[in-house]
Amino acid sequence: MPGANLTRTEAEERKDVVKAPIHYNVALDLTRGPKDFLSTTTVEFGAEPGVSTFLDLIANTVESIEVNGVAQDPAAVYVDNRIELSNLAERNTVTVVARCQYSNTGEGLHRSVDPSDGNIYLYSQFEVPDARRVYAVFDQPDLKAVFDFTVVAPQSWIVTSNMPVHETVALDQMTEAGTMGDHADEACQRWVFETTPIMSSYLTAICAGPYAQWHTEYANEDGRTVPMAMYCRQALKDAFAKDVDYLFDITKKGFAFYAKTWGVPYPYAKYDQIYVPEYNAGAMENIGMVTIRDSYVFGSKVTDALAERRVVTVLHELAHMWFGDYVTMKWWNDLWLNESFAEFTSTLATAECTDWKDAWATFCSGEKSWALNQDQLSTTHPIVAPINDLNDTYVNFDGITYAKGASVLKQLVAYVGREQFFKGIHAYLDRYAYSNATLADLLHELEGTSGRDLTTWSNLWLEQSGINTMTTELVSTGEGDEATIAQLSLVQTAPAEHPVLRPHRLAVGFYNEDAATGNVVRTDRIELDVDGDRTEVVAAAGKPVPDFLLTNDDDLTYTKLRFDAGSLDFVLNNLYRFDDALARAVIWLSLWDMTRDAELPAEQFIDTSLKALATEHESTTFRYALAQISTTVWHYTDPSHRAEVAEHVARELFKLANEAKAGSDEQFQLISAYLTYGVVGDEQFVANAKGLLDGTVMLNGLQIDNNFRWTIIRALVGVDAMSDDEVAAQLAANETTENREFALGARAKRPTAQAKDWAWQQAVHNLDLTNSQLEAVAAGFSSTPDVALADAYVQQYFDELDWIWSNRTFHMAEASLKACTQAMRRRPSLLPLVKPGSTAMPMPTTRSSAWCVPMWKPPSAHRPPRHSMPRCSMQPTDHQL
């Protein structure tokens, strides 16, 4: 299968042909204008004499190709994004000169122009395999090589790569650097970087532009001094300067934690973190130079949830320096292992070496809820999914790969023991340093340190789809306070379409009211192995019946929970009194899951959650509870009185916001959530929103900063109470990259047929929108509660599918189609599209319009290469909640 796709078989065949050592010399000239750049690649490698293979390259034009000193005709050997290499020698040298294209999609070498000051910023994004958009390369993870990069760019810019700068050389721009394009009057310079260690091509990186910069050092555990740097756009430097020292401190704590935990010091020459605009992902673990989305630079107030997510993201990418970079997967089928491990261990580090001590509650409410949702759709798949080609990889950056995988790794730690687990990780890193490895290699090391046979465990947990349900069955004797447990059993079931029962290491927590404080606290805990369809908790017999029994206390395993009748009744009335953040998160997630499965009335979940919000202070749990309430209101309640329920929830949120502590995270989240409940014709809502904007409605301590101003603007546009001209005036007053996106999203949100038609055309056909602008338009298009507005686009959705996949990169196609899908999810007439019997089907009375259109998976010919879905399971930014 030629072209931009690459099959696993082809990769294995090429691996057999191309012999180490492999060395690249890559020279980029970034002074050729705004559309493309000059790329010159010389690659040296070994091969069996007489064999053939190919290099990967996606370029506008290929100017020359030379193989072992012999010029080749590019028209003959460069076909379908591949350079054919025939009749190779034992040692080979290939030089390719090409003009490659800047992207505005966040793939390859992205070019962004900041409207606030005109500055140009470039950054690379090469995962899955987009290094080939910048230089000619054997673009697969197991053909590791060493790289030498040189870059020509305007002299005023900063250029960074994986390694420190070896030297800079001033150039004459007219004779040596060609035409300067955007910088015709400026001198230019060549940056020459030190040679890299052996590494995979998808981890190479280049960033260039007039970035603001900060520097420090880290005393590494091996005695070296590691230079550290932070970068961001000039327009954000004042805001970022407030956080730089904090983020350096978090990073240094991560260095120390990982080196101690794994017994391997940080292995690379430097560590940069560069915050870049219009980024598709949360961040990317390029060796020695991590790129991070610059929405993590906080110029306006954000939730504590997002502030914590930034910390987890920083530590996630740092973990990859060992797990993913130092030791790299052989093929993309083990991508889950890279991401799941980084997600698990970054949460562990956040909880144990930063001030965010409730990080596991955050993980439960955020990451695990994402996994539970995706694992119950018809599109679920095993954690270790078959990856037959690159196109399979693109659709597996999801909640299964990241969040379920991380949850299962947490279960693995409980199953084998923490000390034994990390001894196995140390052995794995030592054995496979600077090379490639597989899941089987890791499990072998863990078996050696734990003594557990992990073959069956791996098959059941990693190679089978679906999720189990653990139901607590309680038989008691006596009455009231004298009641004791006669028998406590845990009953494990599995869905019919995935009938797999798994072994679990878990804990059962006993919770009772503390008379002195009025809180509900844990008074006992039993940890045990659970296997098969029924497990008796022998140690519980004879103990007093507690107010509440929590199976999966401390959230050690990955399972759905169903409580015994007494516990369920107690928690529905007392969730707000539980004193432990993780316990509340586990319980709340289970109540939400019961609501989705129509086992708990929608309005009961809403009332329980509203009451618990009054005392909840764990920000991510708070954030997800608000989102779950919203979904329940608009999807799971009886349509005949849905408007009344929505009005009730809006009133309660506004009341809670006014009662919350001045300037608190809870106040900010509550008023932001309130602003999503507007409906056309609600005069009180319009008055409140306009009052917040003009200052006539005030909440003590609430600051109307830039981003919150746009939250109010979108709320007003969403009820058709602010004109496009007024939105344009707000943008003109402060036109920034972010505000352009806010304005586009606001215009797309307007609940009129004309606005939706404009948004549809922009999202589907405007190829000039950047990735972030497209996402903003798509989100606005899909946000209206008026189902009638979606009717006109049902047939168009299916008519446009092939055009979108043929004319968009994967990320842009996905963003377009996701918005269309979300908008149409509100239409009951599309229910037959759902797989019969799936957990996404509507349930009687409680969720009559709740359903899901499975994500369309296009034919291979229509799936161009792209970067993946958001890495690090990056959650929506606050203004999108």
- Alpha carbons 163 and 149: distance in angstroms, whole number: 9
Q: Is 446 helix (H, G, I), strand (E, B) or coil?
A: helix
d(CA 102, CA 121): 11
Tracing tokens 């659709």 back to the chain, one arrives at: 395
d(CA 326, CA 143): 14
Dist. CA 264–CA 480, nearest whole Å: 56
Instruction: Report residue 763 as tokens.
Output: 């999202």
Q: What separation, in Å, do the N-terminal and C-terminal C-alpha atoms of the chain show? A: 41
What CA–CA distance (Å, rounded) separates 841 from 837?
Answer: 7
**Which residues are 25's β-sheet partners?**
42, 148
Measured CA to CA, the distance from residue 197 to residue 226 in angstroms comes to 15
Residue owning tokens 């929970």: 561
3-state helix, strand, coil in the chain (%, to 5): 45, 20, 35
Instruction: Please give the single-letter amino acid code of residue 864.
Output: P
317 is an active site residue: yes
> Residue written as tokens 């740097």?
229
Distance CA 652, CA 646 (A): 10
The one catalytic residue in 10, 308, 317, 603 is 317
Place of tokens 């040679």: 195
> Which residues, in sequence order, are CB contacts of 531 under 8 Å at separation 6+?
501, 502, 503, 504
CA 145 to chain centre: 28
In whole angstroms, give the CA distance from residue 547 to residue 513: 7
- Beta strand spans in 220-342 (E): 225-232, 271-276, 283-284, 289-293, 327-329
7: left (phi over 0), alpha (psi -120 to 50) or beta: beta
The closest alpha carbon to 286, from 123, 396, 166, 136, belongs to: 123
Cα–Cα–Cα angle for 201, 285, 294, rounded to 5 degrees? 125
CB atoms < 10 A from the CB of 94, how many? 19
Query: What is the side-by-side order of every strand in the sheet holding 158-161?
Result: 108-113, 120-125, 206-209, 158-161
Tell which phi-psi region holds residue 745, choosing left (phi > 0), alpha (psi between -120 and 50) or beta: alpha
The residues near 523 (Cβ < 8 Å, ≥ 6 apart) are 510, 511, 512, 546
Alpha-carbon gap, residue 173 to 188, rounded angstroms: 6
Instruction: Convert 627-644 to b/e letters by CB count within 10 Å (16 or more is b).
Output: bbbbbbbbbbbeeeebee
- Two structure tokens written together for 739: 């505000």
Write phi, then psi, for 622 (nearest 5 degrees): -60, -45
Cα–Cα dist 813/808, whole Å: 5
What one-character-per-residue DSSP string does 505-524 give?
Answer: EEEEEEEEE-TTT--EEEEE
What is the 3-class SS of 371-395, one letter each residue? Answer: HHHHHCCCCCCCCCCCCCEHHHHHC
Query: Distance of alpha carbon 206 from its chain centroid, rounded?
Result: 22
Show the tokens assigned to 161: 């790569």
Tokens of 468: 């189990």
Any idea what DSSP says for residue 829? G
Enumerate the β-bridge partners of residue 56: 82, 137
Which amino acids are annotated catalytic? 317
